[in-house]
Chains A and B, each alone.
Chain A
Amino acid sequence: MANHVQTLPASATPLSRPARRPGWLGVLWTFCRRKPLGALGGVLVLVMILMAIFANLIAPYSYDETIRGARMKAPGAQFWMGTDNLGRDIFSRVVYGARVSVSVGFGAVLLANFLAATIGITSGYFGGKYDICVQRVVDAWQSFPFLIVILSIMAVLGPGLLNVILALGTLGAAAASRVIRGATISVAQNQYIEAARAVGAGHFRIMVRYIFPNVAATIIILATIGLGGAILAESALSFLGFGVPPPYPAWGAMLSGSGRSYMYTAPWMAIWPGAAISLAVFGFNMLGDALRDILDPRLRGAGGGRLR
């Protein structure tokens, strides 16, 4: 391994190396310096969340306000991203659209990771027949084409914010539960788990107090990466007309319907919402990747060691 250690880049050392524990500002600064792309992702995520929270302050118009005589105006000083076929300001609609993406993203990921943690930790901790049965169900869950299952579920539930969260959350849990199960298996082999059992801790207590904190980093990483996926899936659903019902703007829905039928005369209608989706998902993916590299090198799959 000598060769490998020698060429290990300095950036691969974990954050916790300094003897003196740096404050959170210090940690933040180190993160930005080591993972500039991850920091960029973090900024994009922050902008998106702020946009969603303060949409009514940022947007110059309301999302369903028809501005007289401003039908399909090109982007300019008054309408930064132009207006749509009903004379609504696209910039304002994109800003309000962040609310849908943020709430669906966080809601679905929260639900997915709660389910995944429950399934993954119990499956990895108990093992045996329970594990085998649960994992076969997870297999089946994963092998269905995602979009087709979700279309069928959405057709059952009907469109709406809560239903989108429910559908995406339950579907997203399968893949994440696999990873959490793997992490649980390796944590459960530690001596302190044995020690806990020796002093008489029950299964529930061991799982909640001893295993959960040790797989929490994995869960946080999965959540960050999952957020991008959830936002992407929500936009696909909205695009197909199974998302949040109009007139509330969802980025995916803005790209379909009138966005598509008027795109040759007003191309900006089909451009900005897509750019917003891409930037948001890009931000979450970048941040998730950087967090994974720093928090849990085991998940990285690839450490240092340049070949030559």
Chain B
Amino acid sequence: MKKYVFRRLLVAIPSLLIASFIVFLLPRLLPGDVVQLMLEEKAYGKDLEELRAKMGLNRPFYVQYWEWLGKVVRGDLGESLWTRRPVIEELARRLPVSLELGFLALIFAIIIALPIGVLAAIRQDSIPDYVARSLAILGLSVPGFWIATLVVLLPAIWWGWSPPIQFTEFTKDRWAHIAQFILPAFILGVASAAAIMRLTRAMLLEVLRQDYVRTAWAKGLREGVVVAKHSLKNAVIPVVTVLGIQIAQILGGTVIFEQIFGLPGMGRFLFDAINQRDYPVIQGVNLVIVSVVVTMNLVVDAMYALLDPRIRY
């Protein structure tokens, strides 16, 4: 187990390096010149060349990358070109918000998807199964930002209630802080829940038709034991894989949901940075997001080994 995790860790390093290069490359491909923009709007320097030199943007591309990488390893993500504040400082404030939102969304997705998926599989072609499957397709079809809009809009029209716009810090009011995440996290989790539920159902159906499951039935075991102990553990392995992909999607979704619900997280930070061509911020946010995804994939791989003792590299 330890050896397996260690090997996975080694494999993660090159993928992180490749990802870091892509992350560094992407914002440099943006059309429009940040130096030009800054000179016009904020008058940071006398002329283009001086400003470029000031920000280190006049040196060769690979030198910039190497220097950036060296700083990243030491925990320095540079400073925002607009606000002049260290990116890492800003991220430290915003990352917890996005992680909290994403984590809650994932929890919602799992606690909705697993029981419904199991129920739909063990009662295949029953009314609950049809309802669950139709709801799942609906969940995959309705755009999250529209549900979010309706959730904000309809109660406001019908009862004059709307969710609070002001962000509450955890230290100020614990319950109000968590409560403001419930709604966006739930809606963000719905689409993932639909995908996870469909896969759980399909995989469980596959497993339920295996010979050893019939043996379990033949031994006279109760349904609960056959499903939970003999079947679910084997069915859930591909589900864990999809969970890894869903984590990436949920993190992407935070961009939209932080916008709608006014949460000061990374997604919003990134969206503003892209619009302002703030290279260090775009790089920093993307790097953090990619690192989170790679880490989560590591966790997923470790879970494989836990779930299926046959998996060894």
Which residues of A does B touch, CB under 8 Å? 3-4, 9, 37, 139-140, 142-148, 151-152, 155-156, 158, 228, 232, 235-236, 239-240, 252, 255-256, 260, 263-264, 267, 270-271, 274, 277-279, 281-282, 285-286, 289, 300-303, 305-307
Query: Given that A235-B143, A274-B143 are contacting pairs, would A302 and B206 also be in contact in the complex, using a CB cutoff of 8 Å?
Result: yes
Known: A147-B252, A255-B149. A305 touches B143 (CB 8 A): no
* Contact status A277-B146, CB under 8 Å: yes
- Bound state CA distance, A158 and B30, in angstroms? 9
CB-contact partner of A228 in B26, B140, B153, under 8 A: B140
In the complex, what residues of A have CB within 8 A of residue B29's CB?
156
- 8 cross-chain pairs, A with B, having the tightest CB-CB distances, nearest first: A274-B146, A145-B252, A301-B202, A147-B252, A302-B205, A282-B141, A281-B141, A278-B142
* Contact in complex: B203, A270 (CB < 8 Å): no
Tell me whether A232 and B153 are in contact (CB under 8 A).
no
Interface size on B, residues (CB 8 A): 56
In the complex, which of the residues A156, A277, A301 contacts B143, with contact meaning CB atoms closer than 8 Å?
Answer: A277
Is there an interface contact between B26 and A152, defined as CB atoms closer than 8 Å?
yes
Q: Pick the residue among B31, B137, B203, B270 that contacts A301 (CB under 8 A).
A: B203
Known: A152-B282, A281-B141, A307-B124. A146 touches B248 (CB 8 A): yes
B303 close to A (CB within 8 Å) = no
User: Are the CB atoms of B255 and A240 closer together than 8 Å?
Assistant: yes
**Residue of chain B at shortest CB distance from A259:** B149
Q: Which residues between 84 and 143 of chain B lie within 8 Å of chain A, taking CB atoms?
A: 121-125, 134, 137-138, 140-143
The 13 listed contacts between A and B (C-beta, < 8 Å) are A4-B209, A140-B19, A143-B293, A143-B297, A146-B249, A151-B274, A228-B140, A239-B256, A252-B145, A274-B142, A281-B141, A285-B140, A305-B209
Does residue B208 face the partner (Cβ distance < 8 Å to A)? yes
Chain B residue contacts of A147, Cβ below 8 A: 249, 252-253, 255-256
By a CB distance below 8 angstroms, the chain A residues around B10 are none
Counting CB contacts under 8 A, is B15 at the interface? yes
The answer on a CB contact under 8 Å between A236 and B153 is no
Structural contact, B256 and A282, CB atoms closer than 8 A:
no
Nearest A residue to B142 via CB reads: A278
Please, what's the 1-or-0 string for B64-82, where 1 marks a CB less than 8 Å from any CB in chain A?
Answer: 0000000000000000000
Among residues of B, the one whose C-beta sits closest to the C-beta of A288 is: B137
* Besides A152-B286, A305-B209, 15 new A-B residue pairs in contact (Cβ under 8 A), listed by A number: A3-B214, A142-B248, A145-B248, A147-B255, A147-B256, A151-B270, A274-B143, A278-B142, A278-B146, A279-B141, A282-B141, A285-B141, A301-B203, A302-B121, A303-B205
Name B271's contact: one of A151, A235, A305 (CB within 8 Å).
Answer: A151
**Nearest Cβ in chain A — how far from B123, in angstroms?**
8
